[in-house]
Structures are given as C-alpha cells and as structure tokens.
C-alpha cells in the first residue's frame, strides 16, 4: 500500500526553502561552522525555582496521583496561579470556567480550531504570522482569509479593510501582540478596536499572548481581556514557553470566553490526557514568581537585541529597537529585490549565518528576514562579527 495523506493536509505548504536547508546540512557535514539564528526556542535554562518545584512534586510520595493522567487529577494550584497572575499582571478577574490549562499554545491553537470550526468555515489569520493558525484551520477543513500586516500600519491589521463578505462569513480572527515575526507591539486601544470589530461582526477573537512578558524599554503588553466585556467575544492563549524558558515542558493556558473554552475542553478531553501534575505544580510556581523570574530573562534578550540591531544599523539598516518578542525583523537589502530566500542564501554562503526568510511566514513576510535572539551571547557575537566583516 502506498503512503497516503488526507486531501485536506495536502494544502499545507511544505517548508519552502529545501535548497537552503540542504546547503546548511552540507556545510555541517563538511565541518564548516554554521551559526543558525533561525529558531525561536530559548537557550537559557528554565529558572531554578521552577525546576526545583518540578523535582519536589515528581518525588512527592505522599501525592498518590503524581504519576496519573493529568486531566483526571488536575492540581488546584495551576488554575489558582493563573487567576492570581491575571489579576496581578492585568487587573483581570477570571472565573473558574474562564481558565483551561493547555499543553502549550501550539497544541491548543490546533485543538481550538477543531473545537469551533466546521468544514468550509472561514477564519482570519495575520500574514506574516505564526503558521499554526492556518494549520488548525486546515485540520478542521476550514479556510483561512489572510489579513496583511504592513509596516505602514505598524504591523497591525487594518480591520476596516477586511471585505464585507469575509466579515459575514468568518467565525474567528487571530491576533498576536507582541507579534511573531514582526516584533510589533500593540496598545489597549488596538484591542478595544478588535473587541468592537468582534461585536459588530459576530466574530470570535483568539489572541495569542505568547510574548506578552517579553517586552523591553518600559513597554508593558496588555491583555485583550483588559477591554471591558472582552470575555464575551475573546479567548486568549498564554504560554509559559517563551516567558519562562519552558518550551519543552508543554504548559500554558487559555482564558476568557467560557463557551469557546468549553469547545476547547471538549477537544482536549477527547484527544489528550493532560499534563503531568509535577509540571502543573511547576507551572504554578513560575506564574507565582513571574515578577522575580522574568526581568532576568528579559535582560538577556535586551542585551542581545541591542547587539544585533546596533550591528545591522552599523551596516546601513535603520532599525528601531523592537519593544517586544525575542526576535529582530528587518527588510532585506534592496539589491535582492525583496527576495528573502535569495538574501538568506547569499548571507549563508558568505558568512555561515542562518536567518529565517520572511516568506516562511507568508506572502506579506516576503522582503524581510527574522533573527532569533535565543542563541548564546558568544554565538550571536560571532555571527554579528561575521556580518560586520562583510561590509
């Protein structure tokens, strides 16, 4: 029997830069140093108190449920920590049915789409954007309408420009600020306009809050739930991955609209078995200690951001320092005619430095590239020296 793939999955775009990938693999094989700045996965370890709590809980022989399916034996501590965190951080009060623990946002984004979209439904996602929104829609046999994020609009979607037909058909709109990949941040005013848009058009909002804690220079990212009445129209996905250097742990939460969370909960109940209790305890510890743990993590990213932006600006770019996320987003030099893959390939040939071509994030990402700050200082420093040596 031949290997098969469901029709709806054939629409998923394969990773587009096979040629660049091959080059990188060949260079590695030939023993050349490859300085990969492509992936957004924190290099810094999870903070000690979180690891200690994990070890305590996993060893706690008095907890007779410590090894069991996490969905059947949820801790009281995690949802309580979520509520406390939302109250302290955003001034938002969450009811019991407004909190669902997730196994990280990527999983939850796909499960959520399965929970609320029917085949043929339409959902709106930003472009450039995190690919998983569209992947969730595709798994649900729904279709994605992309809204462009353009520099001239501060990489915010122009909601007024969304065609009437799309507004009528769409069930869901994704927003993500601080934004991956553009690094844009938004204010509460933007979230107010999103909530108004949701009400007017009867469209549910899903806000991906993966980077709300990774901000700099006094920027404080809001939650959409700070907008009055937002929980009637919006769900927010918060992840501990980037905030606390916990990508491998797989823990986060969805909060807000209770009905939508019920749909997510139903999919979760029927497709995963929850998160190990020790990880839930550790997640609660992280949230409880957010104010202590996060500044140290962000100080590292801020230093690296300055290094990368100063280097690029020394080479002729005119970048402002991003106020959020763990990336730098920059336009490719003019001589590449906006071809981000050609730029990335040329840069790799000359320097061994790997950046992500913006076209990975969709058509409107073309013309840009992304550098991730999740690499050790000495790697970033060497990469920047090689870039500077190019001049």
Ligand X SMILES: *Cc1c(COP(=O)(O)O)cnc(C)c1O
- Cβ neighbour number for residue 378 with a 10 Å cutoff: 8
Residue 176 near ligand X by CB under 6 A: yes
Q: Cα–Cα distance between 373 and 334 in angstroms, integer?
A: 24
Which residues, 278 to 307, sit near ligand X by CB under 6 A?
none
**Cβ proximity to ligand X, 180 vs 340, nearer residue:** 180
CA–CA dist 275, 66 (Å, integer): 11
Work out whether 190 is an interface residue with ligand X (CB under 6 A).
Answer: no
CB of 13 to ligand X, least distance (A): 17
Distance CA 222, CA 185 (A): 9
CB 274 within 8 Å of CB 70: yes
- 180 contributes a contact to ligand X by CB under 6 A: yes
47-106 binders of ligand X (CB under 6 A): 104-106
List the beta bridge partners of residue 147: 126
Residue 208 engages ligand X in binding (rule: CB under 6 A): yes
Q: How far is the CB of 130 from ligand X (least distance, A)?
A: 4
Select from 144, 212, 223, 241 the one that contacts ligand X (CB under 6 A).
241
C-beta closer to ligand X: residue 17 or 211: 211
Cα torsion 133, 138, 140, 142 to 10°: value is 90
C-alpha triplet 365, 322, 110: angle, nearest 5°: 50
Residue count, binding to ligand X (CB under 6 A) = 14
Cα separation of 242 and 106, whole Å? 12
Residue 144 lies near ligand X (rule: CB under 6 A): no
For ligand X, give the closer residue by CB, 40 or 324.
40
Query: Does residue 247 interact with ligand X by CB under 6 A?
Result: yes
Strand 356-357, strand 368-372: pairing: antiparallel
Residue 200 Cβ vs ligand X, minimum distance, rounded to whole Å: 26
The least CB distance from residue 326 to ligand X, in Å, is 9
Calpha distance 138→114 (Å, rounded): 9
- Stretch of 52-60, 62-70, 157-165, 240-248 lying at the interface with ligand X (CB under 6 A): 240-248
Q: Choose which of 210, 223, 345, 351 interacts with ligand X (CB under 6 A).
A: 210
Q: Which of 75, 182, 223, 239 binds ligand X (CB under 6 A)?
A: 239
Judged by CB under 6 A, does residue 115 bind ligand X?
A: no
Min CB(60)–ligand X separation in Å: 26
Tell me the two tokens of residue 363: 């058509």
Q: Which stretch binds ligand X (CB under 6 A): 24-32, 162-170, 193-201, 235-243?
A: 235-243
| CA 63-78-60 angle, 5° bins | 20
Rounded CA separation 32/25 (Å): 10
Pick 130 or 329: Cβ nearer ligand X: 130
- CB 235 to ligand X: min, Å: 14
**How far is Cα 20 from Cα 16, in angstroms, rounded to an integer?**
9
Residue 22 parent element (H or E)? helix 18-29
Q: Give the residues lining the site for ligand X (CB under 6 A).
A: 40, 104-106, 130, 176, 180, 208, 210, 239, 241-242, 247, 252
């Amino acid at each position: 029997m031949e290997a098969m793939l469901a029709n709806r999955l054939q629409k998923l775009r394969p990773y587009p830069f096979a040629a660049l990938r091959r080059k990188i693999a060949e260079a590695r094989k030939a023993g050349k140093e490859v300085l990969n700045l492509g992936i957004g996965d924190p290099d810094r370890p999870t903070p000690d108190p979180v690891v200690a709590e994990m070890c305590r809980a996993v060893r706690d022989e008095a907890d007779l449920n410590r090894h069991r399916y996490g969905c059947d034996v949820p801790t009281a501590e995690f949802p309580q920590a979520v509520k406390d965190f939302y109250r302290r951080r955003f001034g938002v009060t969450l009811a019991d049915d407004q909190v669902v623990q997730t196994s990280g946002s990527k999983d939850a984004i796909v499960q959520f789409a399965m929970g609320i979209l029917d085949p043929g439904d339409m959902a709106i996602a930003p472009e450039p954007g995190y690919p998983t929104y569209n992947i969730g829609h595709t798994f649900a046999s729904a279709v994605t309408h992309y809204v462009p994020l353009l520099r001239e609009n501060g990489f915010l979607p122009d909601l007024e420009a969304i065609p009437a037909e799309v507004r009528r058909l769409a069930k869901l709109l994704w927003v993500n600020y601080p934004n991956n990949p553009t690094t844009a941040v938004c204010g509460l005013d933007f979230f107010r306009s999103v909530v108004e848009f949701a009400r007017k058009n009867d469209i549910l909002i899903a806000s991906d809050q993966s980077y709300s804690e990774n901000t700099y220079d006094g920027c404080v990212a809001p939650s959409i739930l700070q907008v009055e009445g937002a929980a009637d129209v919006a769900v927010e996905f918060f992840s501990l991955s980037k905030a606390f250097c916990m990508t491998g742990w797989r823990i986060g939460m969805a909060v807000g609209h209770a009905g939508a969370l019920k749909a997510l909960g139903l999919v979760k109940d029927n497709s995963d078995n929850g998160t190990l209790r020790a990880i839930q305890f550790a997640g609660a510890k992280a949230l409880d200690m957010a104010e202590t743990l996060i500044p140290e993590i962000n100080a590292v990213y801020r230093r690296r951001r300055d290094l990368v932006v100063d280097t690029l600006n020394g080479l002729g770019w005119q970048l402002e320092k991003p106020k959020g996320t763990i990336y730098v987003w920059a336009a490719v030099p003019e001589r590449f005619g906006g071809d981000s893959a050609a730029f990335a390939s040329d840069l790799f040939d000359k320097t061994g430095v790997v950046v992500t071509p913006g076209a990975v994030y969709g058509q409107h990402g073309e013309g840009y590239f992304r550098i991730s700050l999740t690499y050790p200082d000495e790697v970033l420093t060497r990469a920047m020296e090689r870039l500077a040596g190019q001049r």
